């Protein structure tokens, strides 16, 4: 096998200074929750290890993951990591098109058999033999299976690949299916979000390069370092939540003061992601900071959890639009009414029995 | 069975006539609910009351109160604290109740099993249903729970409270963090519902209504039976003694 360049080689070739390179390493270390001692380790890995080839395939998706990725807060993320990926195969970013592009994919699979990482953006629809998503004249699901066969590991970028996202929302006519339900024999890392945070995406790749293994995953297969805590746990508006100070209406004084968005449906308490710590667009802001509740985009089936603007959301299982309180109150009302009626009949019956007993007693006398 | 009440005190009682005295000498009682069980019942009832009230408020918080800066105000925090504290009381109480089912008298075990292979038991269930549908003139006497009550207790309390404890501890463990022991014990709950914690919140909320429906039925039936059945009900959960109002068999 020909000598593959290291990340550092590529960076230097792109005119990046060693100083910037080391800054990238320390930024990544802190993003991964590692101590300063790991900075030289990351630098060493980037300098010596051959870069990991990545094949980036796109199924049913909106490309927001790619868009997020190229907006990584550090220029190196897009200049280096990205350019290396585009060297191999990525619809959105590679220069090649048509047959040349498909040939490049085959080339990479052949050349790096068992060593490349397959990054999947979007998911395959399985209905009608996968005809709802065609890549290079063939259903995407075939390309996915083909590319996954010789991959070292699979990264599921975004909510689409991880959980299905909007195209898999009920009733899911195309039967859009998350990657882990199609590829079952490879280690899969889910990096959910719609899209995931750029630093999270580059962080995952850097971790895999530095330590030659998958990052620690949580119960659902997400990297624990980024998805180990809820938005709510690190939200800067949390003190208002504990105080019981909520935005009641979107245009009220409380909204202007930046109170907690819990009552207007913020899904922060049930959403595992790094938005409230890493934030977006070079750490500028995140949804709650800009005044809108979290919609829970990195959670499984977030489109099917009722309104983004309700705390107690509607249950879809009952065929009517009603939330747990409405269903419960209706049931309790029926039971309460039944109890009242039963009590009334019981009283009547008791009175009737009493009068009959009195009659029979007087007859006996 | 405890000894029948002696009739001596009644002899000088001007309010008691001959029939009363005859009845008093005949009346018997059975010690059914031992002290730990009775304490559990009332502690559990109080915990459930607190849990329902605070639980509802956690889903639909009270209107915003601006008493002070957020740093010095902890209104919603206290509501949640009361919920968690009552929840732990419920959990510890339920474990104690299981302990007492093993080491207490045999009545204490009624809550945890259904004799579904016993034909006679099913016949008695049917009889009780008919009694509640006003199709039987007179109820039967039962020392412990009547079979229909046992059925209801099993589904509403044994299963219902277990469900609330499991989903509740799962939600609580999220606050403690994914590396907590409690999350390791109950994290599977999230996997079972497909992974989204919001679903667990919703079913936990529905579970509250399941328990509230039980409360309505339980309180009504307990009072009704106390009046209309042939044995004591409400006082039994205070004194532990089941007393019977007549000495006819069955």
Share of chain A above pLDDT 70, in %: 92
Q: Which two tokens stand for residue A200?
A: 């999270």
End-to-end, the C-alpha distance of chain B in Å comes to 17
Is B155 part of the contact surface with chain A (CB cutoff 8 Å)? no
Q: Which residues of A142-170 are buried (b: 16+ CB within 10 A; e: fewer)?
A: ebbeebbebbbbbbbbbbbbbbbbbbbee
**Among the listed ranges A66-70, A250-254, B78-82, B99-103, which one has the minimum average pLDDT value?**
A66-70
- The span from the CA of A199 to the CA of A195, in Å, is 12
CB contact under 8 A, B79 and A302: no
Could B74 and A242 be called an inter-chain contact, meaning their C-beta atoms sit closer than 8 Å? yes
Residue B189 pLDDT class (50, 70, 90 cuts): very high
Q: What's the pLDDT score for residue A126?
A: 96
Task: Give residues with Cβ within 8 angstroms of B225, minimum separation 6.
Answer: B139, B231, B233
Contact list, A353 vs chain B (CB under 8 Å): 137
Q: Residue B135, preceding bond cis, omega within 30 degrees?
A: no
Read off the pLDDT of residues B196-235 as tens digits, 9 standing for 90 and up: 999 999 999 999 999 999 999 999 999 999 998 888 999 9
C-alpha angle A241/A324/B166, rounded to 5°? 75
Contact A6, A47 (CB under 8 A): yes
Strands in chain A per DSSP E: 54-58, 89-90, 117-121, 134-135, 138-139, 153-157, 188-191, 314-315, 322-323
Helix or strand holding residue B67 (H, E): none
With the C-alpha atoms ordered B12, B18, B24, B25, is the resulting torsion angle positive or negative? positive
Q: Report residue B6's pLDDT band, with 50, 70 and 90 as the boundaries.
A: very low
Determine the Cα–Cα distance for residues A328 and A310; give it in Å rounded to an integer: 17
d(CA A284, CA A282): 5
Q: Are B77 and A243 in contact (CB under 8 A)?
A: yes
Per residue in A158-183, pLDDT tens? Answer: 999 999 999 999 899 999 999 999 99
* Higher pLDDT, residue A163 or A71: A163
Rounded mean pLDDT, A123-142: 93
Give me the percent of chain B exceeding a pLDDT of 70. 92
In terms of C-beta distances under 8 Å and separation of at least 24 residues, what long-range contacts does A127-135 make, across chains too?
Answer: A127/A173, A127/A174, A127/A175, A128/A174, A132/A60, A132/A174, A132/A176, A133/A59, A133/A60, A133/A174, A135/A57, A135/A58, A135/A59, A135/A91
DSSP character at residue B192: H
The span from the CA of B30 to the CA of A335, in Å, is: 32
CA distances from A147 to A89, A132, A184, B141 (A): 11, 19, 13, 73
pLDDT at B1: 41
Q: Is B103 part of the contact surface with chain A (CB cutoff 8 Å)? A: no
DSSP for A141-183, please give it.
Answer: HHHHHHHHHT-SEEEEEHHHHHH-GGGGSTT-TT-B--GGGT-
What integer pLDDT is reported at residue B214 of this predicted model? 96
B10 pLDDT more than 60: no
Task: Determine whether the interchain pair B59/A228 forms a contact, defined as Cβ–Cβ distance below 8 Å.
Answer: no
* 3-class DSSP state of B234: coil
Helix (H) or strand (E) holding B30: strand B29-31
Q: CA-to-CA distance for B45 and B234, rounded, in angstroms? A: 14
Instruction: Give B-chain residues touching A350 at CB under 8 angstroms.
Output: 227-228
Cβ distance of B198 and A240 shorter than 8 Å: no
* Chain A interface test: which of B77, B84, B129, B205 (most A C-beta within 10 Å): B205
Strands (E), B44-162: none
What is the C-alpha to C-alpha distance for residues A300 and B165, in angstroms, rounded to an integer?
24
A270 touching chain B per CB within 8 A: yes
Whether A1 shows a pLDDT value over 50: the answer reads no
Average pLDDT score, chain B:
90
Q: Residue B83: pLDDT band by 50, 70, 90 thresholds?
A: very high
Helix or strand holding residue B109 (H, E): none
Domains, in order of start, for chain B: 35-239 (1.20.950.20)
Phi, psi at residue A314, to the nearest 5°? Answer: -65, 145
Please give the interface size between A and B, counted as residue pairs whose CB atoms are below 8 Å apart.
134
Chain B: residue nearest A329 by CA? Answer: B209
CB contact under 8 A, A239 and B213: no
The torsion of the CA quartet A114, A116, A120, A124, rounded to 10 degrees, works out to -30
Residue of A33, A243, A260, A274 to mutate, interface with B, max B Cβ within 10 Å: A243
Contact B146, B35 (CB under 8 A): no
Give the single-character DSSP code of A261. -
Instruction: Note whether A220 contacts B: Cβ–Cβ < 8 A.
Output: yes
Distance of CA A156 to the CA centre of its chain: 9
């Amino acid at each position: 096998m020909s000598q593959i360049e290291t990340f550092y080689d590529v960076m230097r070739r792109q005119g990046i200074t060693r100083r910037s390179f080391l800054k990238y390493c320390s930024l990544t270390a802190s993003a991964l929750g590692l101590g300063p001692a790991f900075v030289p380790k990351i630098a060493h890995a980037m300098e010596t290890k051959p870069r990991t080839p990545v094949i980036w395939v796109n199924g049913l998706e909106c490309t927001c993951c790619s868009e997020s990725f190229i907006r990584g807060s550090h220029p190196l993320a897009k200049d280096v990591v990205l350019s290396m990926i585009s060297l191999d195969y990525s619809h959105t970013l590679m220069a090649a098109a048509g047959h040349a592009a498909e040939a490049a994919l085959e080339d990479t699979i052949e050349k790096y058999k068992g060593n490349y990482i397959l990054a999947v953006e979007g998911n395959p629809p399985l209905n009608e033999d996968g005809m709802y998503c065609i890549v290079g004249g063939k259903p995407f699901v075939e390309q996915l299976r083909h590319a996954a066969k010789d991959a070292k590991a699979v990264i599921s970028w975004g909510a689409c690949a991880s959980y299905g996202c909007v195209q898999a929302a009920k009733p899911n006519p195309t039967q859009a299916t998350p990657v882990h339900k199609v590829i079952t024999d490879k280690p899969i890392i889910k990096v959910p979000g719609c899209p995931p945070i750029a630093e999270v995406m580059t962080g995952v790749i850097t971790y895999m390069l530095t330590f030659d293994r998958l990052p620690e995953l949580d119960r659902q297969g997400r990297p624990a370092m980024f998805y180990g805590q809820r938005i709510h746990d690190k939200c800067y508006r949390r003190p208002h939540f504990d105080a019981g100070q909520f935005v009641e209406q979107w245009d009220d004084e409380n909204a202007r003061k930046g109170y907690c968005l819990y009552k207007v449906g913020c899904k922060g308490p049930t959403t595992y992601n790094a938005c409230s710590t890493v934030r977006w667009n070079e750490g500028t802001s995140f949804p709650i900071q800009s005044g809108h509740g979290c919609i829970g985009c990195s959670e499984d089936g977030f489109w099917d959890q009722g309104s983004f603007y309700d705390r107690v959301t509607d249950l879809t299982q009952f065929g009517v639009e009603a939330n747990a309180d409405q269903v419960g109150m209706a049931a309790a009302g029926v039971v309460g009414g039944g109890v009242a009626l039963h009590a009334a009949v019981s009283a009547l019956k008791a009175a009737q029995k009493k009068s009959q007993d009195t009659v029979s007693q007087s007859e006996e006398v | 069975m405890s000894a029948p009440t002696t009739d001596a005190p009644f002899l000088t009682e001007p309010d008691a006539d001959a029939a009363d005295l005859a009845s008093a000498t005949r009346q018997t009682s059975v010690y059914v609910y031992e002290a730990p069980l009775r304490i559990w019942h009332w502690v559990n009832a109080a915990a459930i009351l607190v849990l329902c009230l605070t639980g509802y408020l956690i889903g639909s918080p009270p209107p915003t109160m601006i008493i002070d800066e957020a740093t010095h105000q902890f209104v919603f925090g206290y509501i949640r604290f009361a919920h968690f504290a009552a929840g732990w009381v419920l959990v510890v109480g339920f474990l104690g109740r299981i302990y007492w089912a093993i080491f207490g008298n045999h009545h204490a075990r009624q809550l945890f099993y259904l004799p579904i292979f016993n034909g006679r038991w099913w016949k008695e269930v049917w009889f009780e249903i008919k009694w509640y549908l006003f199709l039987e003139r007179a109820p039967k006497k039962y020392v412990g729970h009547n079979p229909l009550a046992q059925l209801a207790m099993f589904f509403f309390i044994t299963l219902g409270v277990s469900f609330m404890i499991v989903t509740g501890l799962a939600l609580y463990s999220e606050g403690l963090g994914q590396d907590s022991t409690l999350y390791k014990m109950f994290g599977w709950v999230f996997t079972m519902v497909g992974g989204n914690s919001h679903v667990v919140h919703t079913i936990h909320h529905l579970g509250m209504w399941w328990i509230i429906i039980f409360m309505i039925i339980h309180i009504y039936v307990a009072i009704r039976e106390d009046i209309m059945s042939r044995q004591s009900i409400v006082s039994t959960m205070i004194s532990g003694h089941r007393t019977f109002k007549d000495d006819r068999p069955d």
